[in-house]
Amino acid sequence: MTRGDVVRVLVSLVIATASTRAQPPDQKPLAFEVASVKSNRTEAPATTLFPLGPGDAYAATGGRFRATNQPLILFVRFAYRLGSGDLLDLPKWVFEDRFDIEGRANGDQTKDQMRLMMRSLLMERFKLAVHTTQQTQSIFDLTLVKAGQMGPQLRAHRTDDACDSGLTSAQLTKLPSLSSSSPSIFQLPTFPCGSIGFVTTGIGDRMRIVGNGQPMDRFADLLRGTFTGIDRHIRDRTGLAGTFDLALEWSRSSDVVPTPNSEPSDAPPPFIDALQRQLGLKLTSTKGPVDVLVIDHVEKPTPD
């Protein structure tokens, strides 16, 4: 192991749900029943059977995890639900070397359970060692634009609503636009219960977040990243208790190219405007405590 293989680096950490926090000391850590790690030096395209983004939604895989020709940094971000920034002084191989990782769990797992299994694999095979601390940083507070008033695409989750088992990726990309001329979010096909995630629309730079039965602090956690352009942690200060259904659609580009046969009103607004118009929410700059992940050690794995 070279000097560059041992690092100590601070990384902003999103601790979004209880299931991704440290498990009780008397509980055996979740781990794949069978797993393999292989170096990949081919020019083959990167693939993944299991989505590695920050959202919860995914198609059931029967407990199988597979990602090929991916850098280690992607697996670390997945395991700890990290944003795309704040990674400093890691050795180059963490970003450049590619790996195939496969794992199998006992039956279908939630995405957070898969994250915990990936943590166990990283600790065992890459000797990843981490701990958490807290720092005061510049952050955003997520608040209501008008006290007590939610936007048209945000509502309290109804426990008597029938919940779908989930939509396929193809179905999600075919959902209609959430512009003023489109159906209400609540007339769209049901999104998986207890899930929230980014949905690509297949239309240029148009992006969407859809959530079903989610607390507002989970939504706030999801907003930081390259998809939204928000580079700080976001703290829920909406005062909205319980769980909510929501959909947010925006353009990642200020110059939206209209699609054939579309009206100018069909183009979604930039993210901050969409947040206010569609959900009745805004971001206010402030300072506050942020949980920080300290990566103490990482090294290249031994071959299978």
Q: Quickly tell me which residue has 């300290």 as its tokens.
A: 294
3 or 50, greater pLDDT: 50
Token duo for residue 89: 């002084």
Q: What angle do CA 252, 253, 254 make, to 5 degrees?
A: 125
Query: 229 is written with which tokens?
Result: 């352009």
Length of the chain: 304
> What are 53-82's pLDDT values in tens digits?
777 767 788 999 999 999 999 999 999 988
Indicate whether this model's pTM tops 0.85. no
Q: Where are the domains of the chain?
A: 3-135, 138-288
- C-alpha neighbours within 13 Å on the C-beta side of residue 258: 7
Cα distance between residue 177 and residue 42, in whole Å: 39
Tell me the three state secondary structure of residue 123: helix
CA–CA separation, 214 vs 223, rounded Å?
13
Q: What is the per-residue pLDDT across 170-228, written as a single tens digit (0 to 9) for each?
A: 444 444 454 444 445 444 445 566 778 777 666 667 888 888 888 999 899 889 887 88
The whole-number pLDDT of residue 132 equals 86
The predicted-structure confidence for 16-59, as pLDDT tens digits, reads as follows: 333 344 455 556 889 999 999 999 999 999 999 888 877 776 77
Angle between helices 72-80 and 111-125 (to 10 degrees): 130
**Residue 226 pLDDT:** 77
First to last CA, the chain: 17
